[in-house]
Amino acid sequence: MQRFEFIETKLAGLKVVKRNPIGDNRGFLCRLFCAETFSHYGFSSISQVNHTLTMQRGTVRGLHYQLPPYAETKLVSCLQGQIFDVALDLRKGSPTYLQWHAEILSAENHTSLLIPEGFAHGFQTLSDDCELLYLHSMPYHQAAEAALNAIDPTLSVDWPAAITEMSDRDRSHPMLDGKFNGITL
């Protein structure tokens, strides 16, 4: 049985990953990652694992990314609840520069998003008490941290619900201007 199905998106390198659980009347087993399989898609080494909880439906987090040389590939999975997960292409010269793709990730649909280097990431919770698991190819480096404002009208992210919560820090991230011209990897 194939453990994963990798689905291409319109944004080169960005993959939707469908996990195929094996189950019976006791429950299920679901593989989240396999270096041998994921290496074919540019992700074979995990340097950091993060687990988050977002308690309130409608909360928006993001759009975060890390600058080179600490740019990271990440695999985002929702272990509890349901989210609208967004990846935004910031790669300088990319034909899909500043385009975004979103997927519903949930505990029930066993779907993850494999986000390559050069993308910003954010999400909105569609239920209360959403738990996410992030697998990162690079460790976090505060000096390489960057973000764009998730409600920037230039990006036109179509958040599916009213935004009920957003940190002051995320609200203060910059809006796009003529000075931002992408990430060179």
65 catalytically annotated: no
CA distance 181 to 14: 20
Q: Of 64, 65, 140, 141, which is the active-site residue? A: 64
Specify whether the CB–CB gap between 103 and 111 falls below 8 A.
yes
Q: Which residues contact 134 (CB under 8 A, 6 or more apart)?
A: 48, 49, 50, 51, 52, 74, 75, 76, 77
- Is 134 annotated as catalytic? yes
3-state helix, strand, coil in the chain (%, to 5): 10, 40, 50
CA separation for the pair 17, 19 (Å, rounded): 6
Residues 110, 134, 136, 173: which is the catalytic one? 134
Q: How far is 92 from 182, CA to CA, in rounded Å?
A: 4
Query: Distance between alpha carbon 77 and the CA centroid of its chain, in Å?
Result: 8
- What's the CA gap between 21 and 27, in Å, rounded? 9
Residues recognised as catalytic: 64, 134
